[in-house]
Structure 1
Amino acid sequence: MVEAAAALVYVVEDDPEVARLVSLALRDFGFACETFGDGAGVLRRLQMEQPDLCIVDLGLPDMDGMELVREIARRCSCGVLVLTGRGHTVDRVMALEGGGDDYVVKPFEPRELVARVRSILRRRGAVAPGMAPLQRRHARFAGWSLDCAANLLRAPDGTETLLGTAETQVLRAFLERPHQILTREQLMGARDLSPLDRSIDVRISRLRRKLEGDAQNPKIIKTVYGAGYMLAAAVEWT
């Protein structure tokens, strides 16, 4: 059975040392993490992929942190934790009312920060490292269904096909994040994937031959040139 993907956290912090400290703490506890030095960078990234949680500093070089918290809340359903040197009550209230889930004042204890991240994800139903994952086995999409435990793909007409483990892993990655652009590295579950490694393209080609009426003009698994691939279908889990 495919393991649940690590919860993804975006860290928006213009102080490189603080960003490094937060990232190390998160990765030490099993989270996936990306860092951004300004608000514009994370807003661009949100167009490509939405995280499970954002950690946002209020003192950013290009925009007001409160504005960024509100914009993230408007664009994304992820959790938001404000990490800032501002300890005034009015800042705390504004951040929480603007869409923040929690508020941590610098200096901070890394393990407490991780505990607060876990707490937000737990309240939102996301799976954080060390938390028991939801046992989601069957997925329905575009008339198809996948039994993730048995690697069994069922067509709209009832025809069943046994998928290989690698194909099931890729298809489940799509089903876990429909309508989101996934990079080749994310689909392979590997970091620093060589540009010459075409394994993922082969797996997607095999899936398209099974899922698509015309594999050359796919409607379910779409290519987003220069970015990755996307599942263009609603998904229902049971």
Structure 2
Amino acid sequence: MTALVSILDDEPAIRQMLADALEEAGFRTMSFGRATEFEAALQRNTPDVCLVDLGLPDRDGLSLVHRLALERGAIVIIISGRAQVQDRVTGLELGADDYIIKPFDPAEVVARIRARLRGAKPARASANTAEFSGWSAHFDRYVLEDASGTETPFSHAEGEVLRLFLDSPNRLISRTHMQESLGGAAGESFDRAMDVRISRLRTKLREDPKNPRLIKTIYGAGYIFLGDVVWRQG
């Protein structure tokens, strides 16, 4: 089915411009000017991608980004006039997959959405669950399950990093490779966002922060995921 993109922006002209570009590119769209309207619609439809403006009239967009990433597992792209590095870093740390600064070219938004959707496809053909070291990572539900059946949710952004590790166990993954695979501009904000996502994954995997056994940092080089991984369907 064609991917559904939700657009949340308080400027009607921007909503219309994005909807026109996305529908011409073959996507389905829903548009909202207020967070309350958007959240009500979430009860009926779960979008594949959410474009979220931070400057909303009825709510801070950053808190909404965190909820969408963690609870819904949606791909979240912030579109904002806030160009400061700290705003971009905060957005990425809260779980956003990308950050686009206004003004923008609608064609760029379409391209970034397509890139994110390609990256969200299951890593092993139809397989969507990876088993490793007593854990199961369910990428269809965005949850980690331990041997006792206890589940811990993870965001789409965290899932992208985890999938990258599970696709290449016992191999060095450089920062450059991460940036090329996950997209986004290289630099301090990307590096910091990756550090935060990896730290959160370690916490959810109950790793010792001083001596993690699964996700190892190779200083000056990148990371290695240690362990055998088996991909399964369901």
Give the TM-score normalised by structure 1. Answer: 0.51
Which residue number corresponds to residue 117 of structure 2?
121
Query: Which residue of 71, 74, 85 maps to 1:78?
Result: 74
- CA distance in structure 2 between the aligned counterparts of 1:38 and 1:55, rounded to whole angstroms: 13
* Aligned-pair CA distance for 1:68: 1.0
Q: Tell me, yes or no, if the aligned pair for 1:26 and 1:32 is still in contact at 8 Å.
A: yes
* Aligned-pair CA distance for 1:135: 7.9
* Aligned-pair CA distance for 1:75: 2.2
What pairs up with 1:100-115 in 2 under 5 angstroms?
100-115=96-111
Alpha-carbon deviations, 1:29-87, whole Å to 9, x = none? 00000001111111111122211110000000000011110121232011000001110
Query: Which residue of 6, 9, 12 maps to 1:13?
Result: 9
Identity over the aligned pairs, expressed in percent?
A: 40
Which residue number corresponds to residue 27 of structure 2?
31
Q: Tell me, yes or no, if the aligned pair for 1:43 and 1:72 is still in contact at 8 Å.
A: no
What pairs up with 1:169-184 in 2 under 5 angstroms?
none
The alignment of Structure 1 onto Structure 2 pairs a total of residues equal to 128
Which residue number corresponds to residue 55 of structure 1?
51
- CA distance in structure 2 between the aligned counterparts of 1:35 and 1:237, rounded to whole angstroms: 34
Give the TM-score normalised by structure 2. Answer: 0.52
* Aligned-pair CA distance for 1:237: 6.7
Letter in 2 for 1:77: G
Letter in 2 for 1:75: E
1:22 aligns with 2:18: yes
Instruction: Give the SS at the match of 1:60.
Output: coil
Which residue number corresponds to residue 87 of structure 2?
91
What pairs up with 1:213-224 in 2 under 5 angstroms?
none
1:67 aligns with 2:69: no
Q: Tell me, yes or no, if the aligned pair for 2:54 and 2:61 is still in contact at 8 Å.
A: yes
- CA distance in structure 1 between the aligned counterparts of 2:23 and 2:56, rounded to whole angstroms: 23
Q: Tell me, yes or no, if the aligned pair for 2:126 and 2:233 is still in contact at 8 Å.
A: no
Which residue number corresponds to residue 152 of structure 1?
none
- CA distance in structure 2 between the aligned counterparts of 1:75 and 1:17, rounded to whole angstroms: 29
Letter in 2 for 1:25: A
- CA distance in structure 1 between the aligned counterparts of 2:84 and 2:56, rounded to whole angstroms: 17
- CA distance in structure 1 between the aligned counterparts of 2:38 and 2:120, rounded to whole angstroms: 21
Write out the 4+ residue segments of structure 1 that deviate beyond 3 Å after TM superposition. Answer: none
- CA distance in structure 2 between the aligned counterparts of 1:237 and 1:70, rounded to whole angstroms: 28
Alpha-carbon deviations, 1:193-222, whole Å to 9, x = none? xxxxxxxxxxxxxxxxxxxxxxxxxxxxxx
- CA distance in structure 1 between the aligned counterparts of 2:15 and 2:233, rounded to whole angstroms: 35
Letter in 1 for 2:13: E
Consecutive unaligned residues of structure 1, counting only runs of 5 or more, are 127-133, 137-235
**Bigger CA radius of gyration:** 1
